[in-house]
A and B are shown apart, each in its own frame.
Chain A
């Protein structure tokens, strides 16, 4: 069942279109990530789902109902803010139960739910403290608790981990995902961090310039990027692009390229730099003028200046239309891509 349906939603700030005709659906009990660089409209989209901003055009449905004119709790939505937005004068317990208390929930019910949420998030010993006495990670948990206690079917998170250090970010990533699955709630999660998106999401909605570039599972985005932007944005190291004939562009992920140190097979290339990372090394090679990034085992990395051969599985080749940037469907196996490489002519950048 569809939990959140966004239909042709646009948001205009004066002349500028922050969000431009965006449509997507989120299944009940799944985690969808709105991913994109800053200014792509992902936070604005989230705020419109929350009801904090009204769409200039289009409609939003939650649990099958048009929620225009409703805000937050009355449309069945809770939110975790990037800054946590904890009330500095209230204790952790009062922060978490704020929404219940203004709605006049009975004391016993409030206590029961607070107990449940505190246990879930390990906040028991902190309930009497003020937010200023908590670490960043603890504050984040309190913000999460305040969103969860409402037991709203949809929980929105706006870059919830961006103020935390890398270690804590990874821990909370797992924790949030586990909570979402255990409680079976729908989550919409905004981030600019593709690792966060790939590791947590059931669906990733990649946005740029107020529009959706691709909407699919993390594997879809990685294995079949719909366009050059997605191909560049998703993945550990940037994808390398090579011009083909017929206005086509070949995209290769560094991890798909096999480096033959004997240079007896594959396309001839010269190693121009090596970035040693321990377990692996990022090797930049030049095919003619064009740089190609490959990944090798750290121990067996070739030296700078070495002649190597580069090869890849035909299925690892991503081919895009150079002018539109869109993915082209090619039949693998009939011909390898390599004969079409234009290695000598000067090439544009992507």
Chain B
């Protein structure tokens, strides 16, 4: 009895030891900071000789009255609502294109995927050049067509949209890979069965392809949604949230509050809100993926 209990104990110890490096890393850089952030959001920011004190939900009340928070929140919502569907539609369209039997499709696949392998800051710099008002590529084209210059990143009406274009450009190629994999999972004789019924291409897409890639679409949509709320590097590199907070997004605002204004407690409260938001999206993902879309 004794040796057997020992060996069982040993297995548990070994298991925990093997998991330990991952647990330590996750805990120290993800879980503990997250919990500390939530706790910090109920305290005031220590300033000079004034130590931090418990202030309950004051930060959250302040947040509700903070116009910049609402601006960032609405900007982010619009950002997600536009970039996610457009990137998905483009990704699926590109995947359908390069899944077909066309000449040079490997080159085309590579071309579509290239934006993904560029670092965000490099991509942002390329697009900065496109958007530059005097000699930028876009304005050169527009002038050539007889229109006036547009200050893409410097105008409140276009700054956010200009950022969205970069996100879509960068993400569509990445999502295409997922759709391409999904399309190649569809057995070709399903399409032959449809051909036997003389089904048009649009009907084939609507009745067969679209439902069969639905799990992938959902997976991509959730990830795109999470990404949309995590964008910060692009804002820093291209607009700095300006002009007049026209392109401020949630994470960028948190960054500003925490490291420009050094109001760490308010930043913690903002982070908590963002965390809840993303947690909700992740929960929706698990629920939908497990319950709503299953056909196999």
A-to-B contact residues, CB < 8 Å: 50-52, 71-74, 77-79, 81, 83, 85, 87-89, 98-99, 102-103, 130, 132, 146, 150
Contact = CB atoms under 8 A, between A and B. Distances in A.
A52 B295 contact: no
Nearest to B214: A89
Interface string B185-198: 00101101111111
Given A73-B198, A132-B296, 17 more contacts: A52-B192, A52-B196, A71-B195, A78-B196, A79-B193, A79-B196, A81-B193, A85-B192, A85-B193, A87-B190, A89-B212, A89-B295, A98-B193, A98-B194, A98-B197, A102-B199, A102-B207
B14 to A, nearest CB: 39
Contacts of A52: 192, 195-196
Contacts of B190: 85, 87
Contact of A89 (B192, B196, B197, B211): B211
B157 interface: no
B196 A102 contact: no
B57 interface: no
B198 A88 contact: no
A50 B196 contact: yes
Contacts of B295: 88-89, 130, 132
B208 A87 contact: yes
A99 B204 CA distance: 12
B207 A73 contact: no
A89 B197 CA distance: 18
B10 interface: no
Contacts of B203: 102
Given A81-B193, A87-B208, A74 B187 contact: no
A52 B195 CA distance: 8
Interface residues of B, number: 19
Contact of A73 (B192, B197, B212): B197
Nearest to B199: A102
B189 A85 contact: yes
Contacts of B296: 88, 132
Contacts of A79: 193, 196
Contacts of B211: 89
A81 B190 CA distance: 9
Nearest to A146: B193
A71 B196 contact: yes
20 contacts: A50-B196, A51-B196, A71-B195, A71-B198, A72-B195, A73-B197, A74-B198, A77-B196, A83-B187, A83-B189, A85-B193, A88-B212, A88-B295, A89-B212, A98-B193, A98-B197, A98-B207, A102-B203, A103-B197, A132-B296
Interface in B31-51: none
Nearest to B295: A89
B199 to A, nearest CB: 5
Contacts of A51: 196
A89 B207 CA distance: 9
A75 B208 CA distance: 23
Interface in B7-47: none
A72 B196 contact: yes
Contacts of B193: 79, 81, 85, 87, 98, 146
Interface in B152-192: 187, 189-190, 192
Contact of B196 (A73, A88, A130): A73
Contact of B192 (A77, A78, A81, A146): A81
Listed from nearest, the 5 A-B pairs whose CB atoms lie closest are: A72-B196, A99-B197, A85-B189, A85-B193, A89-B211
Query: Which of A52, A85, A103 has the largest number of chain B CB atoms within 10 A?
Result: A85
Contacts of B199: 102
Nearest to A88: B295
Contacts of A146: 193
A132 B294 CA distance: 11
A130 B295 CA distance: 7
A102 B205 CA distance: 12
A88 B207 CA distance: 11
Nearest to B210: A89
A103 B198 CA distance: 9
B210 to A, nearest CB: 10
Nearest to A147: B196
Contact of B187 (A72, A77, A85, A132): A85
A103 B295 CA distance: 25
A89 B293 CA distance: 10
A177 B266 CA distance: 78
B197 to A, nearest CB: 4
B181 to A, nearest CB: 17
A79 B189 CA distance: 11
A132 B296 CA distance: 6
Nearest to A100: B197
B189 A81 contact: yes
A72 B198 contact: yes
A128 to B, nearest CB: 14
Contacts of B197: 72-73, 98-99, 102-103, 150
B212 to A, nearest CB: 6
B64 to A, nearest CB: 44
A245 B187 CA distance: 56
Contacts of A132: 295-296
Interface in B239-296: 295-296
Contacts of B208: 87
A15 B227 CA distance: 52
B259 to A, nearest CB: 49
